[in-house]
A and B are shown apart, each in its own frame.
Chain A
Protein backbone atom coordinates (compact mmCIF):
# COMPACT_ATOMS: atom_id res chain seq x y z
CA UNK A 1 0.00 0.00 0.00
CA UNK A 2 1.43 3.35 -1.00
CA UNK A 3 -0.82 5.45 1.24
CA UNK A 4 1.11 6.14 4.41
CA UNK A 5 -0.38 6.71 7.89
CA UNK A 6 0.44 10.38 7.41
CA UNK A 7 -1.57 10.40 4.20
CA UNK A 8 -4.52 8.77 5.98
CA UNK A 9 -4.29 11.35 8.70
CA UNK A 10 -4.36 14.12 6.08
CA UNK A 11 -7.40 12.54 4.40
CA UNK A 12 -9.20 12.25 7.73
CA UNK A 13 -8.35 15.82 8.65
CA UNK A 14 -9.49 17.13 5.27
CA UNK A 15 -12.83 15.34 5.45
CA UNK A 16 -13.41 16.48 9.04
CA UNK A 17 -12.57 20.06 8.05
CA UNK A 18 -14.90 19.92 5.05
CA UNK A 19 -17.80 18.55 7.11
CA UNK A 20 -17.34 21.04 9.94
CA UNK A 21 -16.99 23.97 7.55
CA UNK A 22 -20.07 22.91 5.54
CA UNK A 23 -22.13 22.60 8.71
CA UNK A 24 -21.00 26.00 10.00
CA UNK A 25 -21.64 27.58 6.61
CA UNK A 26 -25.16 26.17 6.32
CA UNK A 27 -26.01 27.48 9.77
CA UNK A 28 -24.38 30.87 9.31
CA UNK A 29 -24.80 31.25 5.56
CA UNK A 30 -28.56 30.61 5.42
CA UNK A 31 -29.52 33.64 7.57
CA UNK A 32 -26.99 35.76 5.68
CA UNK A 33 -28.42 34.59 2.35
CA UNK A 34 -31.92 35.31 3.64
CA UNK A 35 -30.94 38.80 4.68
CA UNK A 36 -29.24 39.48 1.35
CA UNK A 37 -32.28 38.20 -0.54
CA UNK A 38 -34.85 40.21 1.42
CA UNK A 39 -33.23 43.23 3.00
CA UNK A 40 -33.69 46.71 1.63
CA UNK A 41 -30.84 48.00 3.80
CA UNK A 42 -28.13 50.14 2.23
CA UNK A 43 -25.60 47.74 3.72
CA UNK A 44 -26.74 45.01 1.38
CA UNK A 45 -24.34 46.01 -1.39
CA UNK A 46 -21.21 46.29 0.78
CA UNK A 47 -22.01 43.03 2.60
CA UNK A 48 -22.55 41.22 -0.72
CA UNK A 49 -19.19 42.52 -1.96
CA UNK A 50 -17.42 41.52 1.24
CA UNK A 51 -18.80 38.00 1.13
CA UNK A 52 -17.91 37.61 -2.53
CA UNK A 53 -14.33 38.87 -2.06
CA UNK A 54 -12.77 35.40 -1.62
CA UNK A 55 -13.92 34.58 -5.18
CA UNK A 56 -11.53 37.14 -6.63
CA UNK A 57 -8.78 37.54 -4.02
CA UNK A 58 -5.67 35.32 -4.15
CA UNK A 59 -5.97 32.90 -1.20
CA UNK A 60 -2.63 34.13 0.07
CA UNK A 61 -4.01 37.64 0.51
CA UNK A 62 -6.95 36.43 2.56
CA UNK A 63 -4.66 34.05 4.48
CA UNK A 64 -2.16 36.80 5.19
CA UNK A 65 -4.73 39.17 6.68
CA UNK A 66 -6.31 36.36 8.68
CA UNK A 67 -2.88 35.43 10.03
CA UNK A 68 -2.29 39.02 11.06
CA UNK A 69 -5.75 39.44 12.55
CA UNK A 70 -5.75 36.16 14.43
CA UNK A 71 -2.10 36.40 15.52
CA UNK A 72 -0.98 37.53 18.96
CA UNK A 73 -0.92 41.20 17.88
CA UNK A 74 -4.19 41.16 15.93
CA UNK A 75 -7.66 42.16 17.15
CA UNK A 76 -9.09 38.66 16.77
CA UNK A 77 -6.00 37.27 18.50
CA UNK A 78 -6.55 39.58 21.47
CA UNK A 79 -10.15 38.50 21.66
CA UNK A 80 -9.48 34.76 21.49
CA UNK A 81 -6.73 35.08 24.09
CA UNK A 82 -8.99 37.12 26.37
CA UNK A 83 -11.61 34.40 26.03
CA UNK A 84 -9.03 31.79 27.00
CA UNK A 85 -9.09 30.13 23.59
CA UNK A 86 -5.45 30.84 22.84
CA UNK A 87 -4.36 31.73 19.35
CA UNK A 88 -6.11 30.23 16.33
CA UNK A 89 -3.34 30.10 13.69
CA UNK A 90 -1.59 26.75 13.36
CA UNK A 91 -4.59 25.02 14.94
CA UNK A 92 -7.51 23.14 13.43
CA UNK A 93 -9.91 25.81 14.73
CA UNK A 94 -7.95 28.43 12.81
CA UNK A 95 -8.40 26.37 9.65
CA UNK A 96 -12.14 26.19 10.27
CA UNK A 97 -12.45 29.96 10.66
CA UNK A 98 -10.35 30.63 7.57
CA UNK A 99 -12.16 28.01 5.45
CA UNK A 100 -15.58 29.30 6.50
CA UNK A 101 -14.67 32.77 5.25
CA UNK A 102 -12.99 31.40 2.15
CA UNK A 103 -15.88 29.14 1.09
CA UNK A 104 -18.64 31.54 2.15
CA UNK A 105 -19.59 32.83 -1.35
CA UNK A 106 -19.94 29.30 -2.69
CA UNK A 107 -22.59 28.54 -0.08
CA UNK A 108 -24.33 31.89 0.34
CA UNK A 109 -24.83 32.63 -3.36
CA UNK A 110 -26.86 29.54 -4.35
CA UNK A 111 -29.00 29.80 -1.21
CA UNK A 112 -29.60 33.49 -1.83
CA UNK A 113 -30.55 32.75 -5.45
CA UNK A 114 -33.01 30.10 -4.28
CA UNK A 115 -34.66 32.51 -1.81
CA UNK A 116 -34.87 35.17 -4.49
CA UNK A 117 -36.29 32.73 -7.03
CA UNK A 118 -39.21 31.68 -4.85
CA UNK A 119 -40.01 35.32 -4.04
CA UNK A 120 -42.26 36.79 -1.40
CA UNK A 121 -45.55 35.28 -2.53
CA UNK A 122 -45.19 31.90 -0.77
CA UNK A 123 -44.49 33.72 2.49
CA UNK A 124 -47.49 36.00 2.00
CA UNK A 125 -49.64 32.95 1.40
CA UNK A 126 -48.22 31.33 4.53
CA UNK A 127 -49.01 34.38 6.65
CA UNK A 128 -52.56 34.44 5.27
CA UNK A 129 -52.77 30.84 6.52
CA UNK A 130 -51.82 31.95 10.04
CA UNK A 131 -48.11 31.02 9.93
CA UNK A 132 -45.93 33.35 12.00
CA UNK A 133 -42.81 34.66 10.22
CA UNK A 134 -40.42 32.13 11.77
CA UNK A 135 -42.89 29.30 11.17
CA UNK A 136 -43.26 30.43 7.54
CA UNK A 137 -39.48 30.52 7.15
CA UNK A 138 -39.03 26.93 8.32
CA UNK A 139 -42.17 25.43 6.79
CA UNK A 140 -42.17 27.26 3.45
CA UNK A 141 -39.08 29.32 2.59
CA UNK A 142 -36.51 26.73 3.63
CA UNK A 143 -38.16 23.70 1.96
CA UNK A 144 -38.67 25.73 -1.23
CA UNK A 145 -34.97 26.69 -1.18
CA UNK A 146 -33.88 23.07 -0.83
CA UNK A 147 -32.19 22.85 -4.25
CA UNK A 148 -30.16 25.96 -3.38
CA UNK A 149 -29.24 24.55 0.02
CA UNK A 150 -28.11 21.27 -1.55
CA UNK A 151 -26.00 23.00 -4.17
CA UNK A 152 -24.55 25.37 -1.57
CA UNK A 153 -23.63 22.52 0.78
CA UNK A 154 -22.00 20.49 -1.98
CA UNK A 155 -20.04 23.42 -3.39
CA UNK A 156 -18.92 24.49 0.07
CA UNK A 157 -17.79 20.95 0.87
CA UNK A 158 -15.95 20.50 -2.43
CA UNK A 159 -14.32 23.90 -2.26
CA UNK A 160 -13.02 23.22 1.26
CA UNK A 161 -11.61 19.87 0.16
CA UNK A 162 -9.41 21.56 -2.40
CA UNK A 163 -8.16 24.45 -0.30
CA UNK A 164 -4.43 25.11 -0.31
CA UNK A 165 -3.26 28.72 -0.14
CA UNK A 166 -5.27 29.91 2.82
CA UNK A 167 -4.43 26.76 4.80
CA UNK A 168 -0.75 27.14 4.07
CA UNK A 169 -0.77 30.75 5.26
CA UNK A 170 -2.74 30.22 8.40
CA UNK A 171 -2.18 26.62 9.39
CA UNK A 172 1.17 25.64 8.06
CA UNK A 173 1.95 22.00 7.70
CA UNK A 174 1.45 20.30 11.07
CA UNK A 175 0.62 16.59 10.70
CA UNK A 176 -2.68 15.66 12.33
CA UNK A 177 -3.51 19.28 13.11
CA UNK A 178 -3.36 21.35 9.95
CA UNK A 179 -1.75 19.11 7.34
CA UNK A 180 -4.63 18.69 4.87
CA UNK A 181 -4.71 16.67 1.66
CA UNK A 182 -3.67 19.39 -0.75
CA UNK A 183 -0.68 20.24 1.41
CA UNK A 184 0.28 16.58 1.75
CA UNK A 185 0.26 16.30 -2.05
CA UNK A 186 2.57 19.32 -2.20
CA UNK A 187 4.87 17.66 0.34
CA UNK A 188 5.03 14.46 -1.74
CA UNK A 189 5.84 16.39 -4.90
CA UNK A 190 8.52 18.38 -3.13
CA UNK A 191 10.05 15.07 -1.97
CA UNK A 192 9.73 13.68 -5.52
CA UNK A 193 7.34 10.95 -4.25
CA UNK A 194 5.28 11.03 -7.43
CA UNK A 195 3.47 7.71 -6.89
CA UNK A 196 2.06 8.84 -3.59
CA UNK A 197 1.25 12.25 -5.01
CA UNK A 198 -0.60 10.48 -7.86
CA UNK A 199 -2.70 8.46 -5.44
CA UNK A 200 -3.80 11.45 -3.40
CA UNK A 201 -4.18 13.84 -6.32
CA UNK A 202 -6.09 11.23 -8.31
CA UNK A 203 -8.48 10.54 -5.44
CA UNK A 204 -9.12 14.24 -4.93
CA UNK A 205 -9.73 14.67 -8.65
CA UNK A 206 -12.23 11.81 -8.77
CA UNK A 207 -14.04 12.90 -5.61
CA UNK A 208 -14.30 16.50 -6.80
CA UNK A 209 -15.55 15.39 -10.22
CA UNK A 210 -18.20 13.13 -8.71
CA UNK A 211 -19.36 15.84 -6.32
CA UNK A 212 -19.70 18.41 -9.09
CA UNK A 213 -21.41 15.92 -11.36
CA UNK A 214 -23.97 15.29 -8.64
CA UNK A 215 -24.62 19.03 -8.47
CA UNK A 216 -25.27 19.25 -12.18
CA UNK A 217 -27.39 16.11 -12.32
CA UNK A 218 -29.40 17.25 -9.34
CA UNK A 219 -32.95 17.85 -10.42
CA UNK A 220 -35.26 19.05 -7.67
CA UNK A 221 -38.34 17.70 -9.44
CA UNK A 222 -36.98 14.17 -9.53
CA UNK A 223 -36.16 14.29 -5.84
CA UNK A 224 -32.71 12.74 -6.10
CA UNK A 225 -32.09 13.69 -2.47
Chain B
Protein backbone atom coordinates (compact mmCIF):
# COMPACT_ATOMS: atom_id res chain seq x y z
CA UNK B 1 0.00 0.00 0.00
CA UNK B 2 0.97 3.62 -0.46
CA UNK B 3 -0.34 5.70 2.41
CA UNK B 4 -0.11 9.45 2.12
CA UNK B 5 -1.42 12.21 4.32
CA UNK B 6 -0.41 15.81 3.78
CA UNK B 7 -1.42 19.22 5.07
CA UNK B 8 -0.14 22.34 3.41
CA UNK B 9 -1.54 25.86 3.41
CA UNK B 10 -1.35 27.35 -0.08
CA UNK B 11 -2.26 30.81 -1.25
CA UNK B 12 -5.76 29.97 -2.47
CA UNK B 13 -6.65 26.79 -0.57
CA UNK B 14 -5.50 24.32 2.02
CA UNK B 15 -4.27 20.95 0.88
CA UNK B 16 -5.65 18.31 3.24
CA UNK B 17 -5.08 15.09 1.39
CA UNK B 18 -5.51 11.60 2.82
CA UNK B 19 -5.15 8.65 0.53
CA UNK B 20 -4.37 4.99 0.54
CA UNK B 21 -3.76 3.35 -2.82
CA UNK B 22 -2.35 0.00 -3.93
CA UNK B 23 1.42 -0.11 -4.45
CA UNK B 24 1.03 -1.60 -7.89
CA UNK B 25 -0.43 -0.58 -11.23
CA UNK B 26 -1.26 2.94 -12.26
CA UNK B 27 -3.21 5.19 -9.92
CA UNK B 28 -4.57 8.41 -11.33
CA UNK B 29 -4.83 11.53 -9.18
CA UNK B 30 -7.71 13.07 -10.99
CA UNK B 31 -9.27 16.49 -10.67
CA UNK B 32 -9.73 19.88 -12.33
CA UNK B 33 -6.82 22.30 -12.79
CA UNK B 34 -5.76 23.94 -9.56
CA UNK B 35 -7.31 21.34 -7.25
CA UNK B 36 -3.98 20.50 -5.65
CA UNK B 37 -3.13 17.25 -7.39
CA UNK B 38 0.26 18.48 -8.61
CA UNK B 39 1.02 19.85 -5.14
CA UNK B 40 0.14 16.48 -3.62
CA UNK B 41 2.55 14.81 -6.04
CA UNK B 42 5.25 17.31 -5.05
CA UNK B 43 4.59 16.57 -1.36
CA UNK B 44 5.09 12.87 -2.06
CA UNK B 45 8.39 13.68 -3.77
CA UNK B 46 9.50 15.77 -0.79
CA UNK B 47 9.61 18.91 -2.91
CA UNK B 48 7.27 20.87 -0.61
CA UNK B 49 9.29 21.18 2.58
CA UNK B 50 6.49 23.09 4.35
CA UNK B 51 4.05 20.20 3.95
CA UNK B 52 3.37 18.29 7.16
CA UNK B 53 2.24 14.73 7.01
CA UNK B 54 2.94 11.13 6.57
CA UNK B 55 4.07 8.97 3.67
CA UNK B 56 4.58 5.27 3.61
CA UNK B 57 5.51 3.21 0.55
CA UNK B 58 4.81 -0.41 1.42
CA UNK B 59 6.97 -1.04 4.48
CA UNK B 60 9.14 2.07 4.12
CA UNK B 61 8.32 5.33 5.83
CA UNK B 62 9.54 8.28 3.77
CA UNK B 63 8.00 10.94 5.93
CA UNK B 64 6.36 11.08 9.33
CA UNK B 65 6.45 14.50 10.85
CA UNK B 66 5.00 13.19 14.11
CA UNK B 67 8.20 11.17 14.49
CA UNK B 68 10.43 13.75 12.83
CA UNK B 69 11.15 11.48 9.91
CA UNK B 70 11.75 13.26 6.64
CA UNK B 71 13.67 11.61 3.86
CA UNK B 72 15.06 14.35 1.59
CA UNK B 73 14.07 14.03 -2.05
CA UNK B 74 17.47 12.75 -3.16
CA UNK B 75 17.10 9.78 -0.79
CA UNK B 76 13.57 8.90 -1.90
CA UNK B 77 13.65 6.17 -4.52
CA UNK B 78 11.25 7.80 -6.90
CA UNK B 79 11.10 8.94 -10.47
CA UNK B 80 9.37 12.21 -11.28
CA UNK B 81 8.20 13.07 -14.79
CA UNK B 82 7.18 16.70 -14.89
CA UNK B 83 4.59 18.23 -17.17
CA UNK B 84 7.33 19.98 -19.14
CA UNK B 85 10.08 17.46 -19.83
CA UNK B 86 12.67 19.54 -17.89
CA UNK B 87 15.69 17.92 -19.47
CA UNK B 88 19.08 19.32 -18.46
CA UNK B 89 19.82 21.64 -21.36
CA UNK B 90 23.59 21.48 -20.82
CA UNK B 91 23.73 17.71 -21.27
CA UNK B 92 22.97 15.58 -24.31
CA UNK B 93 20.38 12.80 -24.11
CA UNK B 94 22.97 10.28 -22.92
CA UNK B 95 24.17 12.72 -20.23
CA UNK B 96 20.57 13.25 -19.10
CA UNK B 97 19.91 9.51 -18.85
CA UNK B 98 23.20 8.88 -17.06
CA UNK B 99 22.58 11.60 -14.49
CA UNK B 100 20.27 9.51 -12.34
CA UNK B 101 21.62 6.15 -13.52
CA UNK B 102 25.14 6.67 -12.15
CA UNK B 103 23.75 8.00 -8.87
CA UNK B 104 21.69 4.84 -8.36
CA UNK B 105 23.41 1.87 -6.69
CA UNK B 106 23.44 -1.11 -9.08
CA UNK B 107 21.39 -3.23 -6.65
CA UNK B 108 18.52 -0.72 -6.77
CA UNK B 109 18.26 -0.50 -10.53
CA UNK B 110 14.98 -1.86 -11.79
CA UNK B 111 15.70 -2.14 -15.48
CA UNK B 112 18.84 -2.27 -17.61
CA UNK B 113 20.15 0.65 -19.63
CA UNK B 114 19.79 -1.31 -22.89
CA UNK B 115 16.20 -2.36 -22.18
CA UNK B 116 15.15 1.19 -21.28
CA UNK B 117 16.71 2.65 -24.41
CA UNK B 118 14.97 -0.04 -26.45
CA UNK B 119 11.56 0.24 -24.77
CA UNK B 120 11.38 3.99 -25.23
CA UNK B 121 13.16 3.90 -28.59
CA UNK B 122 15.86 6.35 -27.59
CA UNK B 123 18.89 4.79 -29.32
CA UNK B 124 18.92 7.24 -32.26
CA UNK B 125 18.62 10.24 -29.91
CA UNK B 126 21.47 9.50 -27.49
CA UNK B 127 23.89 12.07 -28.87
CA UNK B 128 21.41 14.88 -29.46
CA UNK B 129 21.08 17.95 -27.28
CA UNK B 130 17.62 18.46 -25.69
CA UNK B 131 17.10 21.62 -27.76
CA UNK B 132 17.09 19.48 -30.89
CA UNK B 133 14.35 17.07 -29.81
CA UNK B 134 10.63 17.19 -30.54
CA UNK B 135 8.16 17.49 -27.66
CA UNK B 136 7.34 13.78 -27.74
CA UNK B 137 10.99 12.80 -27.88
CA UNK B 138 11.82 15.02 -24.93
CA UNK B 139 9.08 13.45 -22.83
CA UNK B 140 10.27 9.96 -23.77
CA UNK B 141 13.79 10.88 -22.64
CA UNK B 142 12.40 12.33 -19.40
CA UNK B 143 10.48 9.11 -18.74
CA UNK B 144 13.55 6.97 -19.49
CA UNK B 145 15.66 9.17 -17.22
CA UNK B 146 13.20 8.72 -14.35
CA UNK B 147 12.98 4.96 -14.87
CA UNK B 148 16.77 4.57 -14.97
CA UNK B 149 17.09 6.07 -11.48
CA UNK B 150 15.73 2.86 -9.96
CA UNK B 151 12.44 4.20 -8.59
CA UNK B 152 10.17 2.28 -6.21
CA UNK B 153 7.46 4.73 -7.19
CA UNK B 154 6.97 6.70 -10.41
CA UNK B 155 5.31 10.10 -10.21
CA UNK B 156 3.95 11.54 -13.42
CA UNK B 157 2.52 15.04 -13.55
CA UNK B 158 0.38 15.19 -16.69
CA UNK B 159 3.29 13.98 -18.80
CA UNK B 160 1.15 14.18 -21.94
CA UNK B 161 -0.53 17.52 -21.31
CA UNK B 162 2.01 19.56 -23.24
CA UNK B 163 1.70 17.31 -26.30
CA UNK B 164 -0.78 17.40 -29.15
CA UNK B 165 -3.14 14.47 -29.79
CA UNK B 166 -0.80 12.90 -32.34
CA UNK B 167 2.18 12.90 -29.93
CA UNK B 168 -0.03 11.59 -27.12
CA UNK B 169 -0.92 8.57 -29.19
CA UNK B 170 2.80 8.16 -29.82
CA UNK B 171 3.73 8.14 -26.13
CA UNK B 172 0.86 6.09 -24.70
CA UNK B 173 2.06 2.76 -26.10
CA UNK B 174 5.48 3.43 -24.53
CA UNK B 175 3.86 4.05 -21.16
CA UNK B 176 1.82 0.88 -21.48
CA UNK B 177 4.83 -1.22 -22.44
CA UNK B 178 6.76 0.25 -19.55
CA UNK B 179 3.92 -0.55 -17.19
CA UNK B 180 3.75 -4.15 -18.41
CA UNK B 181 7.50 -4.59 -18.10
CA UNK B 182 8.09 -2.94 -14.74
CA UNK B 183 6.23 -3.63 -11.59
CA UNK B 184 6.68 -0.05 -10.37
CA UNK B 185 3.57 1.64 -9.01
CA UNK B 186 2.75 4.86 -10.83
CA UNK B 187 0.92 7.90 -9.51
CA UNK B 188 -0.35 9.71 -12.57
CA UNK B 189 -1.79 13.20 -12.32
CA UNK B 190 -4.40 14.04 -14.93
CA UNK B 191 -7.40 16.23 -15.53
CA UNK B 192 -8.77 14.30 -18.52
CA UNK B 193 -10.59 11.01 -17.98
CA UNK B 194 -9.94 9.84 -21.52
CA UNK B 195 -6.21 10.23 -21.08
CA UNK B 196 -6.20 7.89 -18.13
CA UNK B 197 -8.81 5.20 -18.92
CA UNK B 198 -6.33 3.28 -20.98
CA UNK B 199 -3.60 3.13 -18.36
CA UNK B 200 -5.19 3.48 -15.00
CA UNK B 201 -6.37 0.82 -12.56
CA UNK B 202 -7.12 2.97 -9.56
CA UNK B 203 -8.56 6.44 -9.30
CA UNK B 204 -8.20 9.12 -6.62
CA UNK B 205 -10.58 12.04 -7.07
CA UNK B 206 -9.34 15.37 -5.77
CA UNK B 207 -11.37 18.52 -5.31
CA UNK B 208 -10.11 21.74 -3.68
CA UNK B 209 -7.18 20.08 -1.94
CA UNK B 210 -9.09 17.10 -0.58
CA UNK B 211 -9.51 13.51 -1.66
CA UNK B 212 -13.24 13.04 -2.24
CA UNK B 213 -13.16 9.41 -3.32
CA UNK B 214 -10.78 6.69 -4.31
CA UNK B 215 -11.13 3.18 -5.61
CA UNK B 216 -10.78 1.00 -8.67
CA UNK B 217 -11.31 3.03 -11.85
CA UNK B 218 -14.27 0.95 -13.03
CA UNK B 219 -16.12 1.38 -9.74
CA UNK B 220 -15.43 5.09 -9.32
CA UNK B 221 -16.51 6.03 -12.83
CA UNK B 222 -19.78 4.14 -12.35
CA UNK B 223 -20.81 6.18 -9.30
CA UNK B 224 -23.45 8.84 -9.81
CA UNK B 225 -22.78 10.63 -6.50
CA UNK B 226 -19.28 11.82 -7.45
CA UNK B 227 -18.16 14.90 -9.38
CA UNK B 228 -17.06 12.64 -12.25
CA UNK B 229 -20.74 11.97 -12.99
CA UNK B 230 -21.33 15.71 -13.42
CA UNK B 231 -18.79 15.88 -16.21
CA UNK B 232 -20.03 16.40 -19.75
CA UNK B 233 -18.09 13.28 -20.74
CA UNK B 234 -19.16 11.19 -17.78
CA UNK B 235 -19.31 7.49 -18.45
CA UNK B 236 -18.11 4.08 -17.44
CA UNK B 237 -15.20 1.91 -18.39
CA UNK B 238 -15.90 -1.78 -18.77
CA UNK B 239 -13.55 -4.64 -19.37
CA UNK B 240 -14.34 -7.06 -22.15
CA UNK B 241 -12.81 -9.88 -24.14
CA UNK B 242 -12.66 -10.18 -27.93
CA UNK B 243 -14.62 -13.28 -28.97
CA UNK B 244 -15.21 -13.05 -32.71
CA UNK B 245 -14.39 -11.04 -35.81
CA UNK B 246 -17.46 -10.62 -37.97
CA UNK B 247 -15.55 -9.83 -41.12
CA UNK B 248 -18.56 -9.42 -43.39
CA UNK B 249 -19.69 -6.36 -41.42
CA UNK B 250 -16.24 -5.30 -40.26
CA UNK B 251 -17.28 -5.70 -36.67
CA UNK B 252 -15.62 -7.11 -33.60
CA UNK B 253 -17.75 -8.96 -31.08
CA UNK B 254 -16.78 -8.62 -27.44
CA UNK B 255 -18.00 -10.33 -24.35
CA UNK B 256 -18.41 -8.71 -20.97
CA UNK B 257 -20.10 -9.94 -17.79
CA UNK B 258 -23.40 -8.39 -18.85
CA UNK B 259 -23.53 -9.74 -22.38
CA UNK B 260 -21.98 -9.20 -25.79
CA UNK B 261 -21.45 -6.07 -27.80
CA UNK B 262 -20.12 -4.95 -31.14
CA UNK B 263 -17.50 -2.39 -32.04
CA UNK B 264 -16.03 -1.52 -35.43
CA UNK B 265 -13.23 -3.95 -36.34
CA UNK B 266 -9.84 -3.49 -34.74
CA UNK B 267 -6.69 -5.52 -35.07
CA UNK B 268 -7.17 -7.37 -31.84
CA UNK B 269 -6.41 -11.03 -31.21
CA UNK B 270 -9.35 -13.14 -30.10
CA UNK B 271 -9.25 -13.70 -26.37
CA UNK B 272 -7.50 -10.41 -25.71
CA UNK B 273 -8.89 -8.31 -22.88
CA UNK B 274 -9.64 -4.71 -23.71
CA UNK B 275 -11.17 -1.71 -22.01
CA UNK B 276 -14.21 -0.02 -23.45
CA UNK B 277 -15.48 3.39 -22.64
CA UNK B 278 -19.20 4.04 -22.77
CA UNK B 279 -20.26 7.63 -22.17
CA UNK B 280 -23.50 8.34 -20.35
CA UNK B 281 -24.75 10.60 -23.17
CA UNK B 282 -24.57 7.65 -25.59
CA UNK B 283 -26.84 5.43 -23.53
CA UNK B 284 -30.62 5.72 -23.90
CA UNK B 285 -33.41 3.81 -22.21
CA UNK B 286 -36.43 1.95 -23.54
CA UNK B 287 -39.14 -0.17 -21.94
CA UNK B 288 -38.85 -2.97 -24.49
CA UNK B 289 -36.18 -4.26 -26.79
CA UNK B 290 -36.33 -2.30 -30.04
CA UNK B 291 -35.63 -4.82 -32.78
CA UNK B 292 -36.53 -2.12 -35.24
CA UNK B 293 -33.74 0.16 -34.07
CA UNK B 294 -30.43 0.79 -35.81
CA UNK B 295 -28.69 0.57 -32.49
CA UNK B 296 -26.71 -2.67 -32.31
CA UNK B 297 -25.85 -2.80 -28.66
CA UNK B 298 -28.94 -3.35 -26.52
CA UNK B 299 -28.97 -4.83 -23.06
CA UNK B 300 -31.62 -5.67 -20.50
CA UNK B 301 -30.84 -3.59 -17.44
CA UNK B 302 -32.12 -2.64 -14.01
CA UNK B 303 -32.16 0.93 -12.73
CA UNK B 304 -30.05 1.00 -9.58
CA UNK B 305 -29.66 4.65 -8.70
CA UNK B 306 -30.77 8.08 -9.89
CA UNK B 307 -29.03 11.41 -9.36
CA UNK B 308 -29.35 14.94 -10.60
CA UNK B 309 -27.00 15.66 -13.52
CA UNK B 310 -25.09 18.90 -14.00
CA UNK B 311 -27.84 20.22 -16.26
CA UNK B 312 -31.18 20.75 -14.47
CA UNK B 313 -33.05 18.95 -17.26
CA UNK B 314 -31.05 15.75 -16.94
CA UNK B 315 -30.82 12.76 -14.63
CA UNK B 316 -27.87 10.43 -14.22
CA UNK B 317 -29.08 6.85 -14.19
CA UNK B 318 -26.97 4.03 -12.92
CA UNK B 319 -27.89 0.73 -14.53
CA UNK B 320 -26.99 -2.80 -13.73
CA UNK B 321 -26.41 -4.97 -16.78
CA UNK B 322 -25.82 -8.50 -15.54
CA UNK B 323 -23.37 -7.29 -12.89
CA UNK B 324 -21.76 -4.57 -15.01
CA UNK B 325 -22.57 -0.95 -14.24
CA UNK B 326 -23.55 1.49 -16.99
CA UNK B 327 -24.38 5.15 -16.71
CA UNK B 328 -27.08 6.80 -18.78
CA UNK B 329 -27.88 10.50 -18.94
CA UNK B 330 -31.51 11.10 -19.81
CA UNK B 331 -34.00 13.91 -19.24
CA UNK B 332 -36.40 14.06 -16.30
CA UNK B 333 -39.18 14.23 -18.86
CA UNK B 334 -38.12 10.93 -20.43
CA UNK B 335 -38.10 9.19 -17.06
CA UNK B 336 -41.59 10.49 -16.38
CA UNK B 337 -42.84 9.30 -19.74
CA UNK B 338 -41.32 5.85 -19.24
CA UNK B 339 -42.66 5.81 -15.69
CA UNK B 340 -39.55 4.13 -14.35
CA UNK B 341 -37.78 4.36 -11.02
CA UNK B 342 -35.13 2.58 -9.03
CA UNK B 343 -35.69 -1.15 -9.49
CA UNK B 344 -37.44 -0.84 -12.89
CA UNK B 345 -36.40 -3.16 -15.68
CA UNK B 346 -35.45 -1.35 -18.87
CA UNK B 347 -33.47 -1.82 -22.04
CA UNK B 348 -30.25 0.14 -22.34
CA UNK B 349 -29.39 1.14 -25.90
CA UNK B 350 -25.75 2.02 -26.38
CA UNK B 351 -25.16 4.22 -29.37
CA UNK B 352 -21.39 4.31 -29.24
CA UNK B 353 -18.65 2.31 -27.61
CA UNK B 354 -15.04 3.36 -27.73
CA UNK B 355 -12.16 0.96 -27.46
CA UNK B 356 -9.47 2.51 -25.32
CA UNK B 357 -6.62 0.10 -25.90
Contact = CB atoms under 8 A, between A and B. Distances in A.
B79 interface: yes
A130 B103 contact: yes
A124 B47 contact: yes
Interface in A110-125: 121-122, 124-125
B88 interface: yes
Interface in A178-201: none
Interface string A118-158: 00011011111111110110011001101000000000000
B99 A139 contact: yes
Interface residues of A, number: 20
Interface string B55-90: 000000000000000001111001110101010111
Task: Name the residue in B73, B80, B145 with the highest tally of chain A Cβ atoms < 10 Å from its Cβ.
Answer: B73
A42 interface: no
Contacts of A128: 45, 47, 73-74, 78-80, 100, 146, 149
Contacts of B78: 128
Contacts of B73: 124, 127-128
B74 A132 contact: yes
B202 to A, nearest CB: 23
Interface size class of B (residues with CB under 8 A): 20 to 34
B331 interface: no
A144 B95 CA distance: 14
Contacts of B82: 121, 125
SS class of chain A's interface: helix, strand, loop or mixed? helix
B90 A125 contact: no
B129 to A, nearest CB: 9
B352 interface: no
Nearest to B73: A127
B35 to A, nearest CB: 21
Interface of B: 45-47, 72-75, 78-80, 82, 84, 86, 88-90, 99-100, 103-104, 131, 145-146, 149
Given A128-B78, A131-B103, A136-B74, 12 more contacts: A121-B84, A124-B73, A125-B80, A127-B73, A128-B79, A128-B146, A128-B149, A129-B99, A130-B100, A132-B74, A140-B88, A144-B90
What are the 9 tightest A-B residue pairs by CB atom distance, in nearest-first order? A129-B100, A130-B103, A127-B73, A128-B80, A143-B90, A127-B74, A129-B149, A130-B74, A125-B86
